[in-house]
Amino acid sequence: MGGARAAVAILDIDPERAETAAREIASGGGVASAHQADVTDKTSVECAVAAAASRHGGLDVLVDSAGIGIRRLAVELSLSDWDKVGTVNLTSVFLCSEEAARVMLQKGGGAIVKLGSIMGFSAASTPNVSYQATKGGVINMTRALAVERAPSGIRVNAVAPTWVRTNLTAALLGQLGVVERIAALMPLKWLATPDEIAWAILYLVNPAAGMVAGHTLAVDGGFLAQ
């Protein structure tokens, strides 16, 4: 990411995946550590955040990026699936934010960025009620926590990406004609890359965004402007 430099602590329920990501960062000259954590479990989050803060001498930035989707019509969605999506997409975001904030308060401030989605603003044409509802919750949680934490020097914002080529969207985007149909919905006519989302996050945690709090930055190729 250009000249950006930070020690990165990666939390993942899959320790091998966390280790792989940490090695990739280290191979590029960065500093990273891997920590196993179930971000839907309070005790697990507390232990992982404490370990990360101890390893790196504190915590300045949190990026809440855990998320899943179960793409079904509402009438076909089981209660257990509804609960699963809500726990991963909403409860984990709250748990990580609050534990990170406690550590950040020890240093007098920090920045938190949550991963929302344009589906938190719009139902578009893709039935995905549990995902859409939870991402809407993330966006309003961002506002609420921003107001609560701002006096303590902690800025809370969110990024709302459009469709991005990731493991979460691979099954959908792999269907015949779906990429073309989705791209046609956006004025820029293409899907976002992970790097484009990362640049938006980098802006929000940077001092350049020092007066930005409670905002959700859409990285959507103009989708929501229509």
- Ordered DSSP codes for 145-200: HHHHHGGGTEEEEEEEE-SB-STTTHHHHTSTTHHHHHHHTSTT-SPBPHHHHHHH
For residue 101, being part of any structural domain is answered with: yes
For residue 195, being part of any structural domain is answered with: yes
For residue 24, being part of any structural domain is answered with: no
Check residue 4 and give its pLDDT.
64
127: pLDDT strictly greater than 80: no
Q: Comparing 61-70, 98-107, 125-134, 215-224, which segment has the lowest mean pLDDT?
A: 125-134
Check residue 99 and give its pLDDT.
97
The string of pLDDT tens digits covering residues 178-187 is 889 888 888 9
For residue 78, being part of any structural domain is answered with: yes
For residue 31, being part of any structural domain is answered with: no
For residue 53, being part of any structural domain is answered with: no
For residue 174, name the pLDDT band (cuts at 50, 70, 90): confident
Check residue 27 and give its pLDDT.
94
For residue 166, name the pLDDT band (cuts at 50, 70, 90): confident
Check residue 165 and give its pLDDT.
84
- The mean pLDDT of 58-74, rounded to a whole number, is 92
- The mean pLDDT of 43-54, rounded to a whole number, is 97
Check residue 98 and give its pLDDT.
96
Catalytic residues: 131
Check residue 170 and give its pLDDT.
81
CATH number, position 67:
3.40.50.720
Q: What is the pTM of this model?
A: 0.92
For residue 92, being part of any structural domain is answered with: yes
Q: For the chain, give me the number of helices (H) and strands (E)?
A: 8, 6
User: Domains in the chain: how many in total?
Assistant: 1
Residues of the domain holding 219: 61-225
Instruction: Name the H helices within 5-122.
Output: 15-27, 42-56, 79-86, 92-105
For residue 143, name the pLDDT band (cuts at 50, 70, 90): very high
Distance (Å, whole) CA 189 – CA 179 = 10
Average pLDDT value for the chain: 93
Give residue 99's identity as a one-letter amino acid code. E
The two most distant CA atoms of the chain are separated, in Å, by 51
For residue 117, being part of any structural domain is answered with: yes
